[in-house]
Structure 1
Amino acid sequence: MTRTPHATSGEPNPLRTLTLDRLRRRTSMKWRTHPEDVLPLWVAEMDVPLAEPIVRTVTGAMELGDTGYPAGTAYAEALAAFARKRWDWDGLAVERTAIVPDVMLGVVEMLKLVTGYGDPVVVNPPVYPPFYDFVRHLDREVAEAPLGADARIDLDVLEDTFRRVTEGRRRAAYLLCSPHNPTGTVHTADELTAVAALAERYGVRVVADEIHAPLVLGDSRFVPYLSVPGGERGLSLMSASKAWNLAGLKAALAVAGADAADDLTRMPEEVGHGPSHVGILAHTAALRDGTAWLDALLDGLDSNRRLLADLLAERLPAVRHRPGDATYLAWLDCRALGLGDDPAAPFLEHGRVALTSGLPFGTGGAGHARLNLAASPEVLEEAVRRMAAAVERAGGDRG
């Protein structure tokens, strides 16, 4: 499988379009959680306008009063076409898909299909905090298989964990984050093939959260888990929400591998009642007609990724940061700054910059913070300036 590189779109960089004054008029979580003097670089919302094809589609639905219940397979067809063009993958079969309210609720439904009460679900910390919250709320046991020091899947640790959690013929699942949040790691075909082989050996079912799949930067390429040898028994959750900033227009797709189709047919019919019809229309328009906008965004994110690395090297050289190859999130190792287990707290208190605390990401999260770089270059520059000043002020307080 070869990656089809995105073309130069000719569209303006969406990250340079909106002013802070305009962004502060938004009423979503990112802009209403903190006071106006705080730069919000935490929750996964982007500082971008919507792609025009999405605006036209949603506006047209409003004008028509097309706000009823969802129907049809247009969303799945659009995702399948996107996968063929973007990832050179033609294995996304529309008949092996189901609409779910969003990715995490889809994860819950997939775990219900392949595990039971009290069964273990393996995760790779540091990892997206809702993995812990939703799994525990489902009355499953979270089992950690931490990433290696290189922020990649440690296959030896993963095998040891699979062996331990399946002792006594227990059922188990592996909740794979691909690409990985918060590190931005893009798993390779070889790594995913090895994961599939381990899962088969120990009878572990793989559920892949692939919500960040369209957000792969530079020369890296996304490999769908269901496309690798042995991935046929896997289940995947995909959505346009992260790449096109559509979290408020809920819709996602569950996708089954060729040998997992029967699992998907057991999902209750009422689960498909949860997604918004308007959300499905928006996601379909994004995948079908929003790729030029996406390409401009990816170029802007790649530029911001390099900018952040330069700014940290200049202003906060003690912060260890390995730029990720995907997502718009940066994982900052702040342990050398002496700010304690939760460096996001002094950055907020002393610098008025809101980052996400690393603690809820599980093992490996202490002393870290996650930064959302889907903002204008000017905001990133100001944020790092404030963070550097916060370190000085915090040091003064300790003195």
Structure 2
Amino acid sequence: MSGLLSGARTAVNPLRQLTIHQLRQRTSLKWREYPDDVLPLWVAEMDVPLAEPVALAITDAVARGDTGYTAGTAYPQAVAEFAARRWGWDGLAVERTALVPDVMHGVVEALRLVTDPGDAVVVNCPVYPPFYESVAHAERRIVEAPLGEDLRIDLDALGDAFRRARAGGRPAAYLLCSPHNPTGVMHSAAELTAVAELAQRHGVRVVADEIHAPVVAGGARFVPYLSVPGAENGLSLMSASKGWNLAGLRGGLLVAGPAAAGDLARVPFGVSVGTSHLGVIAHTAAFRDGGEWLDAVLTGLDDNRRLLTALLAEHLPAVRYQPGQATYLAWLDCRALGLGDDPASVFLDRGRVALNSGLAFGTGGVGHVRLNLATAPELIIEAVHRMASAVG
């Protein structure tokens, strides 16, 4: 097994820097939701120390007493420069951006810009559970377009969902999860171009949640939705939250395509002013100066994907797992284990491992669990051993 834990790194692997004792001192949700005998591999927090450039930016701001309202364009400029370096995309125009408190808050605001109460929002299920909750909170209704057997976008199902969503001529939106959570699938340029063409044909507005965009597997490159032909009237949400573990330092960015610039003028004043100044400072530092740290995390995640694949083959061969090209999440098909609709409850009760139940992810989630790979390899080994003992 030791060979599975090695590999060349550009820097010390942040996923291997904290002990279980240090992690249990944390007061965030991941480590406080369950008793201490439970190994938490559920909610999307990473078990890493804060990236040094981010920590320095925050502490410098606190030392200055710089804790007022946020101002300026440093954040979108940093994201634009990151997009050019990492994704080869120079189409993120600073003047076509707006600050939002966080990505899901921005999703709700974007849906309010392009649809009215009672209108339909299409999602590719199984998908991130807050999509369902946020759409309901915005007084819109969900129309599901299930993923294909290969866990990729099924264009026929999407077209059918668009037709149903637009029935009666009402406005509709497509809430695109890119990269996809929970599957880890990264949509190709060809797939996104086909999505844009379908959306244009049916008169559906696309809102892309791209929060996991920085978290890609080795050799992969993220494709921003707004970079493909036909996506000019799309809206995108980005942040450093997932790439640098900044959920507690909120700050999101709403990005508009050229034909959607006018929509930004209708974003309520209270939305942007409600963004955390310290959050903006943290996210700006991450995108601008956190590349080396991110690369070390990505290398560690590549190791963890290989490790999980080997562990499942050895201890839980009936579990189906397709390692994703993005995110630090693993979508496990446990239906062959005979644990019922909600295997996460069995793994928790019998194995004391906390995973996300697939039931919350909508159609296609029955018999599945989501496992968080952003932790030390030793904890993944322990988790799989516990899961296997829960089955045996």
Normalising by structure 1, we get a TM-score of: 0.96
Deviation per CA, 1:356-397, whole angstroms, max 9, x where unpaired? 0000100000100000010111000000000000111xxxxx
Deviation at 1:167, TM superposition (A): 2.1
Deviation at 1:268, TM superposition (A): 1.2
SS in 2 for 1:213: coil
What is the match of residue 96 of structure 2? 96
One-letter code aligned to 1:340: G
Deviation at 1:220, TM superposition (A): 2.0
Deviation at 1:200, TM superposition (A): 0.3
Whether 1:25 and 2:25 are equivalent positions in the alignment is: yes
SS in 1 for 2:248: coil
What is the match of residue 228 of structure 1? 228
CA contact (8 A) 1:9 1:292 kept: no
What is the match of residue 86 of structure 2? 86
What is the match of residue 363 of structure 2? 363
What is the match of residue 347 of structure 1? 347
Deviation at 1:10, TM superposition (A): 2.8
Whether 1:38 and 2:46 are equivalent positions in the alignment is: no
Deviation per CA, 1:89-143, whole angstroms, max 9, x where unpaired? 0000000000000000000000000000100000000000000001011110100
- The 5 Å alignment of 1:176-191 reads 176-191=176-191
Gaps in structure 1 of 5+ consecutive residues: 1-7, 393-399
One-letter code aligned to 1:137: H
What is the match of residue 54 of structure 1? 54
What is the match of residue 240 of structure 1? 240
What is the match of residue 302 of structure 2? 302
What is the match of residue 292 of structure 2? 292
- What's the Cα RMSD here? 0.8
What is the match of residue 64 of structure 2? 64
Deviation per CA, 1:4-42, whole angstroms, max 9, x where unpaired? xxxx86310000100000000000000100011111000
One-letter code aligned to 2:115: T
One-letter code aligned to 1:186: M
SS in 2 for 1:49: coil
What is the match of residue 166 of structure 1? 166
CA contact (8 A) 1:113 1:267 kept: yes
What is the match of residue 397 of structure 1? none
SS in 2 for 1:231: coil
Q: Distance in 2 between matches of 1:361 and 1:128?
A: 6
CA contact (8 A) 2:356 2:370 kept: yes
Percent identity reads 70
Q: Distance in 2 between matches of 1:80 and 1:221?
A: 16
What is the match of residue 387 of structure 2? 387
SS in 1 for 2:75: helix
Deviation per CA, 1:314-345, whole angstroms, max 9, x where unpaired? 00000011111100000000000011111000
Q: Distance in 1 between matches of 2:163 and 2:15?
A: 45
Q: Distance in 2 between matches of 1:277 and 1:139?
A: 29
SS in 2 for 1:232: coil
CA contact (8 A) 2:226 2:257 kept: yes
CA contact (8 A) 1:125 1:362 kept: yes
One-letter code aligned to 2:61: A
Deviation per CA, 1:211-245, whole angstroms, max 9, x where unpaired? 00000112222100000000111000000000000
What is the match of residue 111 of structure 2? 111
One-letter code aligned to 1:153: I
What is the match of residue 5 of structure 1? none
Q: Distance in 2 between matches of 1:270 and 1:390?
A: 49
Q: Distance in 2 between matches of 1:9 and 1:78?
A: 25
Whether 1:143 and 2:159 are equivalent positions in the alignment is: no
Q: Distance in 1 between matches of 2:272 and 2:336?
A: 48
What is the match of residue 155 of structure 1? 155
Q: Distance in 2 between matches of 1:73 and 1:231?
A: 24
What is the match of residue 250 of structure 2? 250
**Stretches of 4+ aligned residues off by more than 4 angstroms:** none
Q: How many residues align?
A: 385
SS in 2 for 1:255: strand
What is the match of residue 216 of structure 1? 216
Please say which of residues 215-224 and 325-334 is displaced more in the overlay: 215-224
Deviation at 1:81, TM superposition (A): 0.2
What is the match of residue 205 of structure 2? 205
Q: Distance in 2 between matches of 1:259 and 1:10?
A: 40
Normalising by structure 2, we get a TM-score of: 0.97
One-letter code aligned to 2:297: L
